[in-house]
Structure 1
Amino acid sequence: MPIRRLAARERPTISFPLQAYAFEASPPAASRVDEFCAYLPYNAGNRTLVVEESGATVASASAIPMRQNLRGQVLPMAGVAGVATHPLARRRGHVRALLHQLLDEMRDEGHPLTALYPFRASFYERFGYVGLPQPRTAVFSPADLAPLLTAELPGTLNWERIGAGYPTWRAFTERCLAERHGFAVFPDFRAIGLRDRDDRWLVTVVRDGGTVGAVTYRIDDHGGELIADDLLAADPYARASLLQFFARHVDQVARIRVRLPADELPELWLTDLAVDVEARIARPGTPAPMARLLSLDALAGLPTGAGRVTVELVGDRWLAGTHLLDGATGQLELLGAATAGSGVPTATLTAAGLSALAYGVLDPAEVAIRGLGEVSADAAVELRRIFPRALPYLFADF
């Protein structure tokens, strides 16, 4: 199965058309080569691999060099995207071969984490990925935000097009990356697409000389919807300021639609706020994100509780062996199993099981229930201390 890495100039005629067939309306009205060429700069640093048969490309997959926060540490992350197979070449193992080589290469280049949006979650679970929370969408009337119009809130609001405000937006997402578990950002070459398209408004909250809240949005029509992207706020005051801005559109739009992290509870924002909150998962169409560890280096030095457990990793291409996880110092140490001594509990985990614990999305008992490992009661106690539950927010939508 010949696999090769594409040069950038090959993407408009080789990988982009294959991805467009898999993920967009088809067939296109006319040739899209010029459009694909215009998209090239935003893929400049991606790694794209393809499978070829008899000189024709039958499958492709790309990795975007990103960064992600894992329990307070910002680490390189490989964002897998554009996984597509020619309709006459599907179910023949091409994607499996591509992913093995793509993740091999990204891991070897220092990416200990990887994330993606799956075409089928069970397929990627076999590659060690585990599901992360899906962002919520909240829909409500701006009229219900009226109590905020008289609220005295600290800070000031700035309003501009995203093309002009992009440096402020980018700087604030970098702050969120440093502070929020699970948050991820695109590399600069990809992120500037938002600036160049310039098809959003940006409103920011500034306090004490710094940005503490931001949201991008568009309005589809008079009497229609104000459609906001991710609502990013450093604290409740910043969130309230952004909602106050939305309230000023009461005579312009009928509804506000905004995307929220899974830990936001809009039903508690205000009394008498009528709101529909949805996290829709569908196959195909709207999958929840998934992520995994590619290297145990991602765990070294993580803030942790004082647990101590031996973990045997099985059934994975990238994570293997038996390791002592020790959180006695408050920072996780990975030691050889021989140093454990007697009386240290042992758990057997798949890569998906360990990833679920590291990202904080499953309890050790749930790992066992899901068939992602074998965890005794005493090992579960130690694993809960080392990996307390957390709610990752995978901001970057790729």
Structure 2
Amino acid sequence: MEIRRISSEERLTHAFPLQAYAFEASPAPLEEAEKLREYLPFQEDNLTLVAEEGGTSLAAVSAVPMRQNVRGVLHPMAGVAGVAVHPLARRRGHVRTLLTRLLGDMRDDGHPVSALYPFRASFYERFGYVGLPKRRHVTFAPADLGHLVRADLPGELIWERSGSGYDAYRAFTLRLAAERHGFAVFPDYRAERLRADDARWIVTARVGGEVAAAAAYRLSGYGAELVVDDLLTTTPLSRALLLQFFARHVDQVERVVAGIAADELPELWATDLGTVTESRTRVPNANAPMARVLAVPALAGARVGPGRAVVEVVDDPFIAGTYLLDGRGGQLEVGGDEPGVPRATLNAAGFSALVYGVLDPDDLPLRGFGAVPADAGAQLRTLFPRAVPYLFADF
């Protein structure tokens, strides 16, 4: 078996067919297969590896060079996607081999973190990934926002097709990526698909001349739903401006369905607002996202608490080692081993859980992620306070 990186053009014959079989309805009509070429510009600098045997591609994996905010620092991030195996070559370890190579290549290229949506979380947990909160969906009737229709709110709304509204929307998401923990953005060549498809409406709320909230959405039909990909807001006022816009659709749609961050509380947006807020996970195609750390020293500078502990990371090809983690200056400092400092032993998933803020130190032994004595747990709890990462990624 040979592992190699394929060119953009080779994706048409070596990767796309495997990925289409794994994730799409099949077999597709020939004319649908021909349309795959249209996707090449949006995968320009993706790293795609294939495992070949006798000239046949047996498995493929890809990484998209994204950016992600981790505790206040915007890092290059490897977004893993397109993990697919030939139906006659499954259960032979090809994905394990390819994924290990892919993550190593991305780390060596300067990507200290990685994220993905798994087909099965337990599989990727063995590669050091830990689960992140899944974004929610809230459903409400625009009629419940009637009080906002005539409200005099300071600010203005701009309504456009996604082709023309792309620049403002993209600039706003880049701003949020610099500010919000867990937020991720695709590279420009991938994000350009929003402009090229021109398949959404975009409404932006502007306060003082600056974009303060945005929503890309589509209408599913008259009397049906207004479906918002992600409701992106920065202040209560900017959120109210978007809700006011949705309220004006009261005689057009029955429901508004919007993607929201896991820490949003839409039941508190307005009085007498009836909401259904839910997040469902299901194997294989509705799992929560996962993330992991690929390089510990690169995390230096993250906004952390004043804790101080030594963490020994074990059983991982990328970050195994012993690290002194010091947050007494408000920003993470990473050093070598030091005696006399509270110490914990973790695997990569356990360490990643602390960095991303999704588990308490006391959770880690219960999940089989390592050993955390009480003194080390107290320091790590202070060093890495719980946080709610919002893994937004432009569609």
Report the TM-score range of the alignment, normalised by the length of the smaller protein. over 0.9
Partner of 1:159, secondary structure, is strand
- Give the deviation of 1:274 after TM superposition: 1.2
SS at 1:63's partner residue?
Answer: strand
The equivalent residue for 2:103 is: 103
Aligned equivalent of 2:163: 163
| Mapped contact 1:129–1:355 kept (Cα < 8 A) | yes
The amino acid across from 1:248 in the alignment is: R
Q: Output the CA distance in 1 between the equivalents of 2:248 and 2:391.
A: 30
CA contact (8 A) 1:13 1:33 kept: no
Deviation at residue 84 of structure 1 after TM alignment: 0.3
2: CA distance between counterparts of 1:98 and 1:271?
A: 52
Deviation at 1:299, TM superposition (A): 1.9
In structure 2, what is the equivalent of residue 350 of structure 1?
347
Per-residue CA deviation, residues 176-224 of structure 1 (Å, 9 max, x unaligned), is 0011000000000000001100010000011112100000001011001
Partner of 2:45: 45
Q: Which amino acid aligns with 2:90?
A: R
Instruction: Normalising by structure 1, report the TM-score.
Output: 0.97
Map 1:27-176; keep pairs closer than 5 Å: 27-176=27-176
| 1:155-234 superposed matches below 5 A | 155-234=155-234
Which residue does the alignment assign to 1:385? 382
Measured after TM superposition, the shift of residue 31 of structure 1 is 4.0
Mapped to 2, the partners of 1:228 and 1:331 lie a distance apart of 36
Tell me the alpha carbon deviations over residues 346-394 of structure 1, each in whole angstroms, 9 at most, x when there is no partner. Answer: 1001100010000000000011211111101111110011100000000
Q: How many residues align?
A: 395
Query: Is the partner of 2:22 in helix, strand or coil?
Result: helix
Q: Considering only aligned residues, what root-mean-square deviation do their CA atoms show, in Å? A: 1.0
Q: What TM-score comes out, normalization by structure 2 length?
A: 0.98
For residues 85 and 245 of structure 2, the distance between their equivalents in structure 1, rounded to whole angstroms, comes to 45
Q: Which residue is 1:327 aligned to? A: 327
In structure 2, what is the Cα distance between the partners aligned to 1:373 and 1:17? Answer: 40
Deviation string, structure 1 residues 22-67 (Cα, Å, up to 9, x no partner):
1111111234343111110000110100011111001000000000
Match of residue 313 from structure 1: 313
Q: Percent identity?
A: 60
Q: Bigger CA drift: 30-39 or 140-149?
A: 30-39
What is the identity, as a one-letter code, of the residue corresponding to 1:349? L
Partner of 1:243 in structure 2?
A: 243
Cα deviation for residue 255 of structure 1 reads: 0.7
CA contact (8 A) 1:63 1:80 kept: yes
| Bigger mean CA deviation after superposition, 296-305 or 124-133 | 296-305
Conserved 8 A contact 1:302-1:331 = yes
Tell me the distance in 1 between the aligned counterparts of 2:305 and 2:193: 40
Structure 1: segments with no counterpart, 5+ residues: none
Quick check: 1:369 aligned with 2:366?
Answer: yes
3-state secondary structure, aligned to 2:9: helix
Q: For the residues of structure 1 that align with 2:343 and 2:126, how far apart are their CA atoms? A: 23
Amino acid at match of 1:254: E
- Secondary structure (helix, strand or coil) at the match of 1:88 reads coil
| Structure 1: distance between partners of 2:323 and 2:270 | 48
**How far apart in 2 are the matches of 1:325 and 1:259?**
36
CA displacement at 1:145 relative to structure 2: 1.1
